[in-house]
């Protein structure tokens, strides 16, 4: 299994390491041009401070990488972006951008979504491997099953109690094995958005600020933060879906309740889509769960 050691902004690290209760963080990249692909989902992304602080100081479990408008990154992750406010976040990003930007521009940034982040106390910071080069700008990939990556893994095991998702396969002589990370709310929103190709599942609307990731079974009702418990909808459809005026059948058909016409004497905008098939993700593992759709039909839909 691999790990990526990424060079980390000190202010970003200071804020997040002092923030309690984080389930996820956004490790942003200022350029917004290249999607990160160095490691696979569930593998470790580790934080290394800038020279001369040549130490690994924490990490998280890779869930997804994408490019987002900075406003959406802030809406999805807030302080988990490593900034107190959007204005503060913009200042930090712009410190690294090579070209000047308009202060009102909603420019794009690279986003590396990490789950279950951890931060090492200073006395347990891990020295960087001897083959780390001072010329490295963004980071370096290591195989955790062989040296020097194996030493990083051993240091981590001795430094923290790793999350439950990480376990040793004794049959493989202790080599690390990772599972799909448990998502936070921000990651759920972003991954559902990308799974549906940034288009509303009903109307095919592509105006990103108008789209929202809807929970099929609400989080408050013990619905999981998994992509198959989500669907990307236009904001007004999301509101109606949550209130039971709309649903999606287990056959992936869109249905509109007669209650819209009865209560509001309106609804043509919605009834025109009644009975239509929704747009599904390209990856079948992200299709809406039939169990969650049945739950929404039986428990929420007002028909």
User: pLDDT of 236-281, one tens digit each?
Assistant: 999 999 999 999 999 999 999 999 999 998 889 999 999 999 999 9
| pLDDT of the residue at 173 | 38
With cut-offs at 50, 70 and 90, classify the pLDDT of residue 30.
Answer: very high
Q: Are residues 245 and 174 in the same domain?
A: no
Q: Are residues 220 and 259 in the same domain?
A: yes
| Rounded-to-integer distance, Cα 71 and Cα 109, Å | 10
DSSP letters for 78-97: GGGGT-SSHHHHHHHHHHH-
DSSP letters for 136-180: -SSEEEEETTSTTHHHHHHHHHHHS---TTEEEEGGGTTEEEE-P
User: pLDDT of 58-75, one tens digit each?
Assistant: 999 999 999 999 999 999
| Rounded-to-integer distance, Cα 274 and Cα 276, Å | 6
Q: Are residues 106 and 253 in the same domain?
A: no
Domain boundary among 178, 209, 236: 178
| Rounded-to-integer distance, Cα 260 and Cα 279, Å | 23
Q: Where would I find the beta strands (DSSP E) of the chain?
A: 2-8, 24-29, 44-49, 55-69, 108-119, 126-127, 139-143, 166-169, 175-178, 211-215, 230-234, 246-248, 254-256
Q: Which domain holds residue 15?
A: 2-178
Evaluate whether residue 55 is within a structural domain. Answer: yes
Q: Which one, of 235, 246, 241, lies nearest residue 205 by Cα? A: 235
Q: Please list the helix, strand and coil fractions of the chain in percent, rounded to the nearest 5, in that order.
A: 35, 25, 40
295 has a pLDDT exceeding 50 = yes
168 has a pLDDT exceeding 60 = no
User: pLDDT of 185-234, one tens digit each?
Assistant: 999 999 999 999 999 999 999 999 999 999 999 989 999 999 999 999 99
Q: Are residues 130 and 209 in the same domain?
A: no
| pLDDT of the residue at 103 | 78
- Do you find a cis peptide bond into 193, omega within 30 degrees of 0? no
178 has a pLDDT exceeding 80 = no
Query: Which of 98-107, 142-151, 229-238 is least confident?
Result: 98-107
The residue to which tokens 């007669």 are assigned: 258
Q: Are residues 56 and 167 in the same domain?
A: yes
With cut-offs at 50, 70 and 90, classify the pLDDT of residue 175.
Answer: low
Domain boundary among 128, 148, 178: 178
Q: Are residues 151 and 218 in the same domain?
A: no
| pLDDT of the residue at 169 | 34
| pLDDT of the residue at 111 | 98
The residue to which tokens 């959406």 are assigned: 72
CATH of the domain at 52: 2.30.130.30
Evaluate whether residue 185 is within a structural domain. Answer: no
Evaluate whether residue 188 is within a structural domain. Answer: no
With cut-offs at 50, 70 and 90, classify the pLDDT of residue 127.
Answer: very high
């Amino acid at each position: 299994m691999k790990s990526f050691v990424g060079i980390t902004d000190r202010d970003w690290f200071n804020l997040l390491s002092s923030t309690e209760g984080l389930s996820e963080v956004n490790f942003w990249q200022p350029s917004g041009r290249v999607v990160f692909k160095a490691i696979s989902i569930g593998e470790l992304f580790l934080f290394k401070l800038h020279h001369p602080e040549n130490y690994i100081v924490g990490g998280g479990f890779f869930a997804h990488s994408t490019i987002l408008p900075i406003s959406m990154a802030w809406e999805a992750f807030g302080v988990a972006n490593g900034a107190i406010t959007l204005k503060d976040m913009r200042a930090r990003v712009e410190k690294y951008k090579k070209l000047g930007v308009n202060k009102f521009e909603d420019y794009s940034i690279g986003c590396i979504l990490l789950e279950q982040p951890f931060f090492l106390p200073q006395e347990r910071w891990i020295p960087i491997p001897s083959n780390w080069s001072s010329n490295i700008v963004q980071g370096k990939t290591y195989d955790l099953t062989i040296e020097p990556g194996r030493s990083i893994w051993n240091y981590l095991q001795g430094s923290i109690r790793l999350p439950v998702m990480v376990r040793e396969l004794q049959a493989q002589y202790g080599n690390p094995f990772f599972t799909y990370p448990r998502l936070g709310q921000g990651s759920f929103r972003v991954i559902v958005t990308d799974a549906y190709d940034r288009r509303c599942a009903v109307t095919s609307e592509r105006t990103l600020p108008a789209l929202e990731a809807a929970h099929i079974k609400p989080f408050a009702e013990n619905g999981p933060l998994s992509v198959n418990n989500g669907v990307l909808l236009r904001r007004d459809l999301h509101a109606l879906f949550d209130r039971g005026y709309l649903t999606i059948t287990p056959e992936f058909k869109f249905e509109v309740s007669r209650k819209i016409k009865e209560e509001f004497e309106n609804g043509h905008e919605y009834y025109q889509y009644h009975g239509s098939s929704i747009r599904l993700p390209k990856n079948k593992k992200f299709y809406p769960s039939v169990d969650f759709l049945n739950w929404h039909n039986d428990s929420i839909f007002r028909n």
